[in-house]
């Protein structure tokens, strides 16, 4: 699916840029292994201009120190890259690079590629803290790649209804969580105490580990798990979970028999829409206030609004997230619309019959 491929490339580029910024590197790159894990099929760089990349020529395929990380997937730190016995040498017109940090994109026992960082800006070599931050972002990148490859497997399933349902859920539950972890790691380098940095990175890795479990169980368990404590409690818990990413806790209001009248499978859709809507608002609107309203009568009316910068109407080409929200509504015989909010911001209305 072209949309999924584009979204993965954008996400990986975002993670590489985050890694370079967080550890203070001059250059950063991410290499994605081919299916046989013998070389690199994709190589994303940050820090080089288009002109510099053009005169360097072909992208690396995985030789020298880059190849060493493929055959021996373990973190590697060097103060002088050129002095390593396994170096292959830079091509003509390649800028000089000295200090080096490489970490594998490992998801449990599977390796999907490597994250490379060079030229520590304020020191002669990278630190333990730099390595921990890089490993957390490398794990997020590995999860994104694994998620996309699962997405590709889902595409060839013969049962189209299940395929579309799983594809939506992989996007809603996984991609947004990876973005959220990256945003939480942004402030780690500004924390002076090492113990607090380690604690933040550890929490991020725990979140990513939970995400791994969700990916690997999605195809078999999607939509089957009961909502603990009912839909009302699940929405409140989700709002609390997203508060750190959004910068403020969403205000949540309920009206009607939320727990008694909403079937399990519809409740799953409601939660996915709330997550997608709030995450999109947090990423794109610059909002400081978020509101969630869930009204249950003979139909469910979910409204999510924010006081952000708003979006341009009419929507020329909605992103995959909004398309997923619309598909969830239409699948249940409902409707979905996005409107400007009175006083500024955006108002999302998702409504389905019971």
Tell me the per-residue pLDDT of 90-138, one tens digit each, with 9 for 90 and over.
667 677 888 999 999 887 778 888 999 999 998 999 999 999 999 988 8
Hey, which bits of the chain come out as E strands?
25-33, 40-46, 76-78, 100-107, 110-120, 251-255, 290-296, 299-306, 335-340, 346-353
3-state class of 124 per DSSP? coil
Q: Quick one: 173 and 50 in the same domain?
A: yes
Provide CB contacts within 8 A for 85, sequence distance 6+.
none
Last residue of a domain, one of 221, 247, 268: 221
pTM over 0.75: no
Let me know whether 277 and 203 are in one domain. Answer: no
Q: 83 and 136: one domain?
A: yes
pLDDT at 224 over 50: no
167, 193, 221 - which closes a domain: 221
- φ/ψ of 303, rounded to 5, equals -120, 135
Q: CATH code at 61?
A: 3.30.450.40
Q: Which residue has the higher pLDDT, 69 or 61?
A: 69
189 and 300, same domain (yes or no): no
Whether 159 has a pLDDT exceeding 60, the answer reads no
Asked whether the beta carbons of 195 and 203 are under 8 A apart, the reply is no
Are 211 and 246 found together in one domain? no
Average pLDDT over residues 318-331: 79
Do residues 155 and 295 share a domain?
Answer: no
Indicate whether 111 and 12 sit together in one domain.
Answer: yes
Same domain, 266 and 212: no
Domain C-terminal end among 192, 221, 250: 221
The H-or-E segment that residue 276 falls in is helix 264-284
Q: Which residues make Cβ contacts (< 8 Å) with residue 240, sequence separation at least 6? A: 249
Task: State pLDDT tens for residues 39-65.
Answer: 788 888 888 878 877 787 777 766 777
Lowest mean pLDDT among 7-21, 105-119, 181-195, 323-337: 181-195
Cα angle, residue 94 at apex, residues 118 and 33 outer, rounded to 5°: 60
Q: What's the confidence (pLDDT) of residue 252?
A: 92
Q: Which of 8, 31, 28 is nearest to 18 (CA)?
A: 28
Nearest-angstrom CA–CA distance, 354 and 346 = 26
- Its sign, for the CA torsion 14, 186, 100, 139, is negative
Range from 22-31, 95-104, 315-324, 337-346 carrying the lowest mean pLDDT: 315-324
Write the DSSP assignment of 9-74 as a string of letters: HHHHHHHHHHHHHHHTEEEEEEEEEPTTSSSEEEEEEES--HHHHHHH-SPP-S-THHHHHHHS-S
In this prediction, residues 137-151 reach a mean pLDDT of 82
Domain identity same for 158 and 66: yes
Q: Which of 168, 155, 113, 156 is nearest to 138 (CA)?
A: 113
The chain-wide mean pLDDT, for the chain, equals 79
CATH code for the domain of 340? 3.30.565.10
Q: Within this chain, do residues 237 and 178 fall inside the same structural domain, yes or no?
A: no
The encoded tokens of residue 295 equal 């009204």
Check whether 263 has a pLDDT greater than 90: no
Q: Domain tally for the chain?
A: 2
What is residue 14's predicted lDDT score, i.e. its pLDDT?
87
User: Residue 302: what pLDDT?
Assistant: 95
Give the strand pairing for 290-296 and 251-255.
parallel
pLDDT at 215 over 70: no
Residue 319's domain comprises: 230-353
d(CA 175, CA 179): 6
> Is residue 212 domain-shared with residue 240, that is, in the same domain?
no
**In this structure, are 27 and 98 located in the same domain?**
yes
Distances (CA, A) of 37 to 32, 76, 111, 141, 212: 9, 19, 8, 16, 20
Q: Taking 60 as the threshold, does the pLDDT of residue 316 lie above it?
A: no
pLDDT attached to residue 300? 93
Give pLDDT, residue 222: 43
């Amino acid at each position: 699916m072209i949309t999924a491929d584009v979204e993965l490339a954008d996400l990986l580029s975002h993670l590489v840029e985050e890694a370079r910024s967080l550890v203070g590197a001059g250059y950063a790159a991410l290499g994605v292994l081919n299916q046989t894990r013998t070389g690199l099929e994709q190589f994303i760089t940050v820090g080089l201009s288009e002109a510099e990349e053009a005169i360097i020529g072909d992208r690396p395929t995985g030789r020298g120190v880059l190849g060493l990380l493929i055959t021996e997937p373990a973190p590697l730190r060097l103060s002088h890259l050129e002095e390593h016995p396994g170096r292959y040498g830079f091509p003509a017109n390649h800028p000089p690079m000295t200090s080096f940090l490489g970490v594998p994109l490992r998801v449990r026992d599977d390796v999907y590629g490597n994250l490379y960082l060079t030229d520590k800006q304020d020191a002669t070599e990278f630190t333990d803290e730099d390595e921990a931050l890089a490993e957390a972002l490398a794990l997020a990148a590995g999860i994104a790649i694994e998620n996309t490859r699962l997405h590709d497997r889902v595409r060839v399933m013969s049962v189209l209804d299940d395929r579309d349902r799983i594809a939506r859920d992989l996007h809603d539950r996984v991609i947004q969580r990876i973005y959220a972890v990256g945003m939480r790691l942004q402030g780690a380098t500004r924390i002076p105490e090492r113990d607090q940095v380690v604690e933040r990175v550890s929490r991020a890795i725990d979140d990513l580990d939970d995400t791994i479990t969700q990916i690997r169980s999605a195809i078999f368990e999607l939509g089957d798990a009961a909502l603990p404590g009912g839909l009302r409690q699940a929405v409140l818990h989700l709002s609390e979970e997203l508060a750190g990413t959004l910068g403020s806790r969403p205000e949540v209001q309920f009206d009607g028999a939320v727990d008694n009248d909403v079937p399990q499978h519809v409740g799953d859709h409601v939660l996915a829409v709330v997550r997608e809507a709030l995450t999109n608002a947090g990423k794109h609107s610059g909002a400081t206030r978020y509101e969630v309203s869930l009204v249950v009568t003979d139909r469910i009316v979910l409204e999510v609004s924010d006081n952000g910068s708003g979006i341009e109407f009419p929507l020329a080409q909605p992103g995959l997230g909004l398309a997923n929200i619309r598909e969830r509504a239409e699948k249940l015989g409902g409707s979905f619309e996005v409107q400007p909010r009175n006083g500024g911001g955006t108002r999302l209305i998702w409504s389905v019959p019971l």
